[in-house]
Chains A and B, each alone.
Chain A
Amino acid sequence: MSLEWMAWTPVTAGFFIGLGLVLTGMTIWEVVAPNVERRGLLPITTSRGDRLFIGILGSGYIFIAWTGLTDWKMWFVLPVCLVFILLSMRYA
């Protein structure tokens, strides 16, 4: 089956492979050490998956703000997003 219609690029393929690996890692983590919901800085109880979701969604908004409001190089947004996801996983 040809995937030409999906118009893949190495960058987007890398993005989705990364996302897939994160989800696989989270599944394995859940099996090995089942999640316990807790309350962090946000006024809601969050599970591990919730915190990852908050991190990824927040990263999307950081990307939008970076692109729409600044002329800074796009590569710098990647570590900022990674740090945001890690902070979300730890404190959200």
Chain B
Amino acid sequence: MEKWENNKAWFLVSPVIVIVAFSAILPLMTVVNYSVQDIFGPGNRVFVGTEWFKEILTSPRLHSALWRQFIFSGLVLLIEIPLGVLIALMMPKKGWGVSASLVMLALPLLIPWNVIGTIWVIFTRPDIGLLGATVNGLGIAFDHTASPTDAWITIVLMEVWHWTPLVALLAYAGLRAIPEAYYQAAKIDGASAWSTFRYIQLPKMRGVLTIAVLLRFMDSFMIYAEPFVLTGGGPGDSTTFLSIYLVKVALGQFDLGPAAAFSLVYFLIVLLFCWLFYQALQNVGRGEKT
């Protein structure tokens, strides 16, 4: 009976396997094929071996984009995770305030990514933008189109505004799942707010926070639309992250071979982090079971 049920499960997931094959596996195979050839056009290509890999792996522009990407993802995590937890701790636990704050928090998550970029382009404009004009009005020169530092500040702010709500919602769900008995025990023991947080809330949120770190790292590591709309990778190359650089190579220069090689290296980096985070999640799961 069990054997039959397992086989039936395979039958039921087969449509997904077919869809994934056409939407992911075949394109990935094509990328591998492109990465070892110089593509001049349909039917016009030359085998070049590992030349494109050599070219992109020794490219200073790629190294810079990679470092920029790690710094950006690190910064985003350092801000979003504590801020999300703080917001979750401050959210109301009952009454109409719960629904109101959940809706407010969900709003940035519902906006399409390219629209987020456009909102922040207008918001930070030094002449008419609410933020840009206010900061300049205070006597602080701020222009994300001219200064790399301002561009970075704007992108990090935009990312934090866009995605901290997700961390807050996850942390809030984790907090709500803690049984009231834990708080009562802490109260009887005379635990301070910090002790309650450190020894009850934080350990109990470990699972959801690991998921939050995983989601936010992967998402920020593959970020494209928002910074592309906001800065286009500039000024200069100062906000050219990996995906923006990849699109510049693939579509801007139409160098399909190097772009394919770059995509595979990018894919390997993402795959490694996915696996590491997956292992971390598994460990959390095992820890919670015991």
Contacts and interface: CB of A to CB of B under 8 A. Distances in A.
Contact of A57 (B47, B53, B275, B283): B275
A67 B29 contact: no
B14 interface: no
A40 interface: no
A32 interface: no
A12 B33 contact: yes
Contacts of B157: none
A11 B268 contact: no
A57 B271 contact: yes
Interface size band for A: 20 to 34
Contacts of B33: 6-9, 12
Interface residues of B, number: 27
Contact of B45 (A7, A53, A61, A67): A7
A65 to B, nearest CB: 9
Contact of B34 (A7, A16, A60, A64): A7
A9 B50 CA distance: 13
Contacts of B29: 6, 12, 16
B50 A60 contact: no
Given A4-B42, A60-B268, A9 B30 contact: no
Closest CB pairs A-B (n = 3):
A68-B57, A7-B33, A67-B53
